[in-house]
Structure 1
């Protein structure tokens, strides 16, 4: 494909023209003929051209206005959304063929001039791509780039036109346990030096950008006096500040729900606290502003904090102050600690960020003193899981009870399932969860002791048909798999490794039998490396095998040249486990 962007600054508007020429060579690539174009309702959008071409580039069909379907863009959990999607199809049944289309969007409100990644589709080769920007000579910009490009510029009539182009940009495929590809793909990002978006501001520094956010949010974190009086009547007797913050957070969780609301200034400006008070819902921005207002009612300062969410987020480009975030949390400094509040879910405990926002840079917005900070990282203690198996071995069947105490990401998933899914969906999820571990689930009980503890307990009745096999006259029992990642993932890596969270677990397996078996147990084994540890011990207690296995893997970034050592460490564990059977004999 060929992919080009032309940008022009005209007074305070950004005119963006994009053009595409795509070759579709076979039926498997026919999906490329279905085109979706996203833009905001406040933008002026125009489809300039959309044609289907045969293999000789002769026009077969042109898209007409009646062929274009416009709808609200799909967004998970969206209730209101001012983003539109224009869709049309240029599919053909004779290969190869080409599609060619271009469109123009005129924007009045914008933070980015360009976020250009020449490799448009991860799985489709780009032959050539270009970005050009025409602006007045006194219109200043900030630019950040990854990779090398062919560059040219011209000046005429008070304007400067800059152009970056590239042929056959590199493709980077997805890889497990790797940083997002967008951290490595060739790209150019451009922002205006001065912000004129809602309120005036600057991209000169993170402090300046945070000041713009603070001014955009000014006056939104206030509640009506009658509501403040109600809150003080309900919570005013609480003297301990930490207890009061927790009670107010539970008040938020129990009385609001998350819905994505992307209206007003492109979704950057929150709805005011009173909006959430009235409607009982909001997006991450509005709910955080509401929580901030609850604290304000009691004179407790807090800080609106922008963060990139997800269990594997792209790293913030610290030398390029700009809007690089998709989520908001609240930071509450206290005399004894710094409290972090995730305001969009009801099932996570107080002062728990979890896998969604832990261990990454964020922008703490503080009028007159905004700065990049790092959110707390989940520790080995925070993710430590225990699994106790009481198994019964009877002839050709291995069955039993599993008692698990889950923390970290597994806890978060189960807590979400318990809170948000229907009974049928829960059942389907739980069966899949145990099947992935090689178990057949018979019965399951889920228990959470306290809303303040980031842990959940499972009691499962399970069959383990994959863990008992007959080899000649012998029956061989293999242990349930550990939570260490598979070594194969790290073999011959072409991408660096990122382990965002540690892994830490203690598995205890007790095998009972009503028959008088003689047990052949493997030797104890331990392995220590810079990446983590593995230790397993075996003993007989009243003629029942008792196995204790402890594993630990640290969170870190690992460059490509060191990934072979991680692979070797994990492979050595797998090799041991595959050659350490538990054998009962008479």
Structure 2
């Protein structure tokens, strides 16, 4: 659902002939010259990464990249390709490359049959000019070295370069530089992230241009650790942005969120007018409805029933919406067009709302660096009536998503309100362990031979229901059954009944899953004893203990809670030989409890509770977190030994 394209493009693209450097006979980038420390745990080594951004005017930039990578094995093969994007606002001046063997001997230069030009449509775009040229120099014999150079001229100065030479796990960097040249009248804004100690911008002059330069060397291979933040939050990076910019005659300033909001709002001002017939229809729809939230819901359901999402990405169309009247007549639009249409419909119902920029399906924006970090638009509706002030959030691109639900796609983030005089950042709804719940109740009937049947009812809410809800809306019954079966952590079973249904639940979407299972040989019978696994479906795995010193923070990215109550019905004359000791763990990483009871009616009841937060911890806490997970994993595997007293 992206509405902004960082790369845009051209109509004329040249595949440059090999440079003199490529054609020379001297070996280049021999693998033997790579330091042993850089090859350790690496699939690829960036030998050279040079990027230069030249700011020519408020409306034009030129970006030049030279990337040389040695691929050590097949796991590094993805780095043997280079994708350069282009569209109406960005054109490729040249793209050239070469590939060398392990000794640095030229195998061949980039040829026309190594390059493919194709549309970068996301599959749901009605119209897009976003294209790419993919240069492919992958080899079958390892190691080898690829050398790419390209230059892109951009008439979209809203986006400046983000320099990140270390982009993948198990990739080392031998040498990298980044230069920005800009007129003094167009001062550079930048933010340095995770740079090694002592590395910072070097300032100089080149004629009338101010020059900023960064340099990195000898970065060992990055190794992603369990439960760590995204790689983009750990590797060295320099993010740049303009002070002033211009896109197809629309100029703006970008030193505050208010300025970006105002520029975007003005770009779309006056595009929320509806035909009179539609206004009358909405007025009739909400007539007599005094509850503000109910009025909003009726309009949202009208929007969902009468529109569908199709991306439109042509030039300025990455930021400027279709008029609401166009969406009304065609019934489709992209995220900004549908949100703008929803805004217009609500206005016809007497409700004020605001479009809001958000970064969807990715980590949250950096709030301390105003810049265009967004890829999606939603609708924010502040409630104005009633004693309790609240806000309704609407995802206007989905025909099935629940009213006032942002979920994992756009929840727990910051959004930028688009307002006439410029807006500000606001928090989208937060979904924690109290909202993301999975509650399961089951009855399991075990016979004397250890075979079992089970009836299970599971209610999922918030983000916990998203995967199952997607099955409900996109797959038929047989495919639903197949996907559910794949998700069950059972060795031997068959599903004899399955039903998925959306469930009314206060303030949150919910899905109820009803299952019936046949479980042959579920419990192991041996002589007088039956060994029963009392945790049916909720086992948590342990994680690998730390090897050496932990480098990254502990990042628990998803908050959730689980509640299991399982009753085991056992044959007459079968009693538990002993019961497991209750477990209770209360830590900063989460809480966990289990208890097994023998009930008066002869059944065994197993109760398990697990609650995990969305949070971060210092890397020094990792051993304690590993121990917490180990204890949960051990408790989840506990068996009850049943004794046949009449045998």
TM-score (norm 2): 0.84
Identify the residue that residue 272 of structure 1 maps to in structure 2: 323
1:19 CA drift (Å) = 1.2
- Are residues 192 and 254 of structure 1, via their aligned partners in 2, closer, same or farther at CA, if it must alter by over 3 Å? same
Written as runs of structure 1 = structure 2, the 5 A alignment for 1:491-510 is 491=546, 493-510=550-567
Kindly indicate whether the alpha-carbon contact (under 8 Å) linking 1:385 and 1:506 is maintained by their aligned counterparts in 2: yes
Identify the residue that residue 353 of structure 1 maps to in structure 2: 406
Count matched residues: 584
Kindly indicate whether the alpha-carbon contact (under 8 Å) linking 1:109 and 1:265 is maintained by their aligned counterparts in 2: no
- Are residues 508 and 491 of structure 1, via their aligned partners in 2, closer, same or farther at CA, if it must alter by over 3 Å? farther
Written as runs of structure 1 = structure 2, the 5 A alignment for 1:439-454 is 440-450=494-504, 454=509
Q: Secondary structure at the match of 1:541?
A: coil
Kindly indicate whether the alpha-carbon contact (under 8 Å) linking 2:464 and 2:560 is maintained by their aligned counterparts in 1: no
Aligned counterpart in structure 2 of residue 576 of structure 1, from 635, 639, 646: 635
| Residue 158, structure 1, aligned to residue 208, structure 2 | yes
Identify the residue that residue 165 of structure 2 maps to in structure 1: 118
Q: Secondary structure at the match of 2:572?
A: coil
Identify the residue that residue 451 of structure 2 maps to in structure 1: 397
| Residue 566, structure 1, aligned to residue 620, structure 2 | no
Kindly indicate whether the alpha-carbon contact (under 8 Å) linking 1:122 and 1:172 is maintained by their aligned counterparts in 2: yes
| Residue 408, structure 1, aligned to residue 462, structure 2 | yes
1:462 CA drift (Å) = 1.6
| Residue 145, structure 1, aligned to residue 184, structure 2 | no
Identify the residue that residue 458 of structure 1 maps to in structure 2: 513
Q: Secondary structure at the match of 1:344?
A: coil
Task: Tell me the distance in 1 between the aligned counterparts of 2:256 and 2:557.
Answer: 27
Kindly indicate whether the alpha-carbon contact (under 8 Å) linking 1:120 and 1:126 is maintained by their aligned counterparts in 2: no
**Once superposed, what is the RMSD of the aligned Cα atoms?**
2.7
| Residue 317, structure 1, aligned to residue 372, structure 2 | no
- Are residues 51 and 424 of structure 1, via their aligned partners in 2, closer, same or farther at CA, if it must alter by over 3 Å? farther
Identify the residue that residue 553 of structure 1 maps to in structure 2: 612
| Residue 330, structure 1, aligned to residue 379, structure 2 | yes
Aligned counterpart in structure 1 of residue 258 of structure 2, from 192, 207, 226: 207
1:197 CA drift (Å) = 2.4
Task: Tell me the distance in 2 between the aligned counterparts of 1:363 and 1:490.
Answer: 41
Kindly indicate whether the alpha-carbon contact (under 8 Å) linking 2:450 and 2:522 is maintained by their aligned counterparts in 1: no
Kindly indicate whether the alpha-carbon contact (under 8 Å) linking 1:446 and 1:459 is maintained by their aligned counterparts in 2: yes
Moved more, 436-445 or 290-299: 436-445
Moved more, 286-295 or 169-178: 169-178
Task: Tell me the distance in 2 between the aligned counterparts of 1:87 and 1:323.
Answer: 26
Aligned counterpart in structure 2 of residue 241 of structure 1, from 292, 304, 311: 292
Aligned counterpart in structure 2 of residue 530 of structure 1, from 574, 588, 597: 588
Task: Tell me the distance in 2 between the aligned counterparts of 1:17 and 1:71.
Answer: 22
Kindly indicate whether the alpha-carbon contact (under 8 Å) linking 2:407 and 2:462 is maintained by their aligned counterparts in 1: yes
Residues 274-296 of structure 1 deviation map (CA, whole Å, 9 limit, x = unaligned):
23223322222222111111111
Kindly indicate whether the alpha-carbon contact (under 8 Å) linking 1:183 and 1:314 is maintained by their aligned counterparts in 2: no
Residues 52-71 of structure 1 deviation map (CA, whole Å, 9 limit, x = unaligned):
33444443322344653211
Moved more, 556-565 or 299-308: 556-565
- Are residues 376 and 255 of structure 1, via their aligned partners in 2, closer, same or farther at CA, if it must alter by over 3 Å? same
1:50 CA drift (Å) = 1.9
Identify the residue that residue 37 of structure 1 maps to in structure 2: 84
- Are residues 88 and 436 of structure 1, via their aligned partners in 2, closer, same or farther at CA, if it must alter by over 3 Å? farther
Kindly indicate whether the alpha-carbon contact (under 8 Å) linking 2:99 and 2:144 is maintained by their aligned counterparts in 1: yes
Task: Tell me the distance in 1 between the aligned counterparts of 2:311 and 2:490.
Answer: 32
- Are residues 10 and 533 of structure 1, via their aligned partners in 2, closer, same or farther at CA, if it must alter by over 3 Å? closer
Task: Tell me the distance in 2 between the aligned counterparts of 1:437 and 1:256.
Answer: 44
1:484 CA drift (Å) = 7.5
Task: Tell me the distance in 2 between the aligned counterparts of 1:439 and 1:495.
Answer: 40
Task: Tell me the distance in 2 between the aligned counterparts of 1:357 and 1:466.
Answer: 44
Written as runs of structure 1 = structure 2, the 5 A alignment for 1:472-483 is 474-480=529-535
Kindly indicate whether the alpha-carbon contact (under 8 Å) linking 2:405 and 2:508 is maintained by their aligned counterparts in 1: no
Unaligned runs of 5+ residues in structure 2 are 1-45
- Are residues 426 and 283 of structure 1, via their aligned partners in 2, closer, same or farther at CA, if it must alter by over 3 Å? farther
Kindly indicate whether the alpha-carbon contact (under 8 Å) linking 2:534 and 2:606 is maintained by their aligned counterparts in 1: no
Q: Secondary structure at the match of 1:45?
A: strand
Task: Tell me the distance in 2 between the aligned counterparts of 1:365 and 1:101.
Answer: 40
Task: Tell me the distance in 2 between the aligned counterparts of 1:124 and 1:502.
Answer: 31
Residues 186-235 of structure 1 deviation map (CA, whole Å, 9 limit, x = unaligned):
10111110121252222111112211221122122222222212222333
Unaligned runs of 5+ residues in structure 1 are none
Q: Secondary structure at the match of 2:305?
A: helix
